[in-house]
């Protein structure tokens, strides 16, 4: 039986840079924390080598400036580099000018470290929402080919409920920008998040595989994502709100084993290897004007 096809991705950030703890860890203090992302990313790279798979690594620009050899190694080992912002600030907390500056700084850091052009973007915390769809125009102006930032779910800090759950193309002022959303499982009209991050750690693994199979049955590839800190149960515990601690620490011991199971059961490619097939089938969606978005 043919294994379901998936897109594999890693958001390269460290444990103290997550939005869950942004209220207790200031960005100005990041430099005082000992980095663990380099060792954890190496573990992931070795695991991907073991299963002979390649992925897209959405790298934080702040990390690229401090660990350029790690970024270069990711590319040299055959993986795709993409942008995960510079400062890991939610897009909806910025304006177009500050978003553009942050994105350019991230691109500069990643490309300087690797010598590889960056054409893919994923917003921190899936923070392209109805209030920040203007960011898609900025991304096309900056030369990006695809985005993977719109989570079609209900959530307290991100998501666009009712958005398409399979790939599509935003029609921006300049050209189309492919949107490739993370995997969800459809139950009636509801889209339940699955197969990535906390959802992969917390929910039953069978549920993630069901979601992958459902997406595959519709002729599309599921999008799997993880963070290097999620395979690091020994990371220092931060003293944040209970919800933040629940989201970050639940299931850390299980992620590595679950990831290995998924790598055995499915086929994986980076985003770059799926763009042609996505472009040929993706319906085009008009990007709402900012005035219309504010009224939604």
> 93: which DSSP letter?
G
Mean pLDDT of 280-284: 92
Domain 5-182+267-295 bears CATH identifier 3.40.50.970: no
Residue 236 DSSP code: P
Count CB-CB contacts under 10 A for residue 83.
Answer: 28
Using one digit for the tens of pLDDT, what is the confidence trace for 65-76? Answer: 999 999 999 999
| 131 close to 293: Cβ distance less than 8 angstroms | yes
Tens digit of pLDDT for each residue in 200-221? Answer: 999 999 999 999 999 999 999 9
> CA angle, corner 118, sides to 112 and 119, nearest 5?
165
Which runs of consecutive H residues, i.e. helices, occur in 181-274? 197-202, 205-217, 242-249, 255-265
Label residue 1 by pLDDT band (50, 70, 90).
low
Rounded to two decimals, the pTM is: 0.95
pLDDT digits (tens, 9 = 90+) for 222-266: 999 999 999 999 999 999 999 999 999 999 999 999 999 999 999
- Cβ–Cβ < 8 Å for 272, 55: no
Q: Where are the domains of the chain?
A: 5-182+267-295
pLDDT band at 173 (very low <50, low <70, confident <90, very high): confident
Which of 25-29, 95-99, 171-175, 283-287 has the least mean pLDDT? 171-175
Q: Name the β-bridge partners of 225.
A: 9, 196
Provide the pairing of β-strand 5-12 with 56-59.
Answer: parallel
């Amino acid at each position: 039986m043919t294994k379901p096809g998936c897109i594999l991705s890693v958001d390269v950030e460290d444990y103290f840079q997550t939005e869950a703890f942004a209220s207790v860890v200031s960005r100005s203090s990041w430099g005082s924390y000992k980095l663990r992302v380099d060792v954890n990313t190496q573990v992931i790279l070795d695991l991907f080598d073991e299963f002979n798979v390649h992925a897209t690594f959405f790298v934080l620009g702040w990390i690229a400036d401090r660990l350029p050899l790690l970024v270069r190694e990711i590319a040299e080992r055959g993986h795709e580099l993409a942008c995960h912002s510079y400062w890991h600030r939610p897009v909806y907390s910025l304006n177009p000018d500050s978003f553009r500056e942050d994105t350019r700084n991230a691109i500069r850091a990643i490309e300087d470290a690797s010598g590889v052009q960056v054409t893919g973007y994923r917003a921190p915390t899936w923070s392209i929402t109805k209030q920040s769809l203007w960011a898609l125009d900025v991304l096309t102006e900056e030369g990006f080919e695809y985005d993977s930032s719109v989570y079609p779910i209900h959530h307290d800090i991100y998501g666009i409920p009712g958005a398409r759950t399979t790939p599509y193309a935003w029609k921006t002022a300049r050209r189309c920008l492919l949107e490739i959303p993370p995997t969800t499982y459809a139950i009636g009209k509801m889209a339940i998040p699955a197969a990535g991050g906390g959802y992969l750690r917390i929910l039953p693994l069978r549920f993630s595989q069901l979601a992958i199979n459902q997406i595959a049955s519709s002729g599309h590839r599921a999008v799997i994502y993880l963070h290097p800190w999620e395979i690091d149960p020994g990371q220092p515990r931060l003293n944040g709100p209970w919800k933040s601690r629940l989201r970050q620490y639940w299931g850390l011991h299980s992620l590595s084993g679950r990831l290995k199971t998924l790598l055995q059961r499915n086929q994986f490619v980076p985003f770059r290897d799926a763009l042609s097939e996505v472009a040929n089938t993706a319906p085009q969606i008009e990007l709402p004007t900012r005035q219309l978005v504010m009224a939604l």
